[in-house]
Amino acid sequence: MDLPRSFTIRERSHRILDPFTSEKLAILGRALRPRPGTTILDLACGKGEMLCTWARDHQITGTGVDISTVFLRAAGERAEELGVADRVRFVHANASEFVAPEPVDIASCCGATWIGGGVAGTIELLERSLRPGGVVLIGEPFWRKDPPDQQAVQACHAMSKDQFTTLPGLVMLFRDCGWDLVEMVLADEDSWDRYVAAQWLNIRTWLDDNPDDELAEQLREELDTAPLSYVTYQRNHLGWGVFALMKR
């Protein structure tokens, strides 16, 4: 059980595997005001940057779950680097099946709501690990502008226009699921650039070092097309944010 190698190649220099900068991640932490000792479960945690930096800045404790052994190894190294390895742990497991052994104060899934079959299902999954009165964090894309055609939809990594909704549509979905939206921090064009454009240099330097690898042709084609596709469609049409929810 692991992620395809192409994911770890694209994001090998990233600490945050979403269109969030470290500044926005810190803003989110300050907005939530977690007290020392707050417990967090982060499903599909990637390289664990949220848990590690919040453990350093807010003295939280937490568990991150992911299927990528490469990302989890990086998460463990980051915890050691920041001196918080005694406050956070990382588990190699299928996040869609993981439930915390004890209820947590914050249950998070940022950028991987496929683990619950969509936003509503992921909220239900996170609630299984949440204490009464706790906070759910959902990171999710939304349409900033209506995509004009299927080419635009696919350039935004969606199978159909209905795969994402608008920002008002997301807020209504949270309400209809029985949750209050109590905070949010949204990506902007700069944070999208830092996430997506950084992948191009990762791919190019990897191609230079691995010209005969079995993935070289696929990633060479991606680098040929991805920058134009991004600036034409994704940068203009797709938003992303992290939304803090509390059960009514």
Question: Residue 2: is its pLDDT beyond 90?
Answer: no
pLDDT band at residue 43 under the 50/70/90 scheme: very high
37: left (phi over 0), alpha (psi -120 to 50) or beta: left
Q: Give the pLDDT mean for 28-47.
A: 97
Q: Write down the pLDDT at residue 4.
A: 92
Give the integer Cα–Cα distance in Å for 242 and 28: 8
> pLDDT at residue 57 above 80?
yes
Reduced to 3 states, what is the DSSP secondary structure of residue 213?
Answer: coil
Mean pLDDT of all residues belonging to the chain: 97
pLDDT surpasses 90 at 16: yes
What pLDDT is attached to residue 8? 95
In tens, the pLDDT along 82-140 reads: 999 999 999 999 999 999 999 999 999 999 999 999 999 999 999 999 999 999 999 99
Does residue 30 surpass a pLDDT of 90?
Answer: yes
pLDDT, mean of residues 189-204: 97
Degrees, nearest 5: CA angle 62-48-136: 55
Residue type, 139: G
The pLDDT, as a whole number, for residue 68 is 97
Tell me what percent of the residues of the chain surpass a pLDDT of 70: 100
The pLDDT value given to residue 218:
97
3 confidence band (pLDDT: 50, 70, 90): confident
Q: 3-state SS of the chain: helix, strand, coil percent to 5? A: 50, 25, 30
Q: Answer whether 15's CB lies under 8 Å from 78's CB.
A: yes
Could you tell me which of 58, 46, 38, 41 has the C-alpha nearest to residue 20? Answer: 46
Instruction: Write the single-letter amino acid at 244.
Output: A
Domains and CATH numbers, the chain: 5-143+150-243 (3.40.50.150)
Per-residue confidence band for 1, with pLDDT thresholds at 50, 70 and 90:
confident
Average of per-residue pLDDT across 30-38: 96
Looking at residues 61-84, what average pLDDT do you find?
98
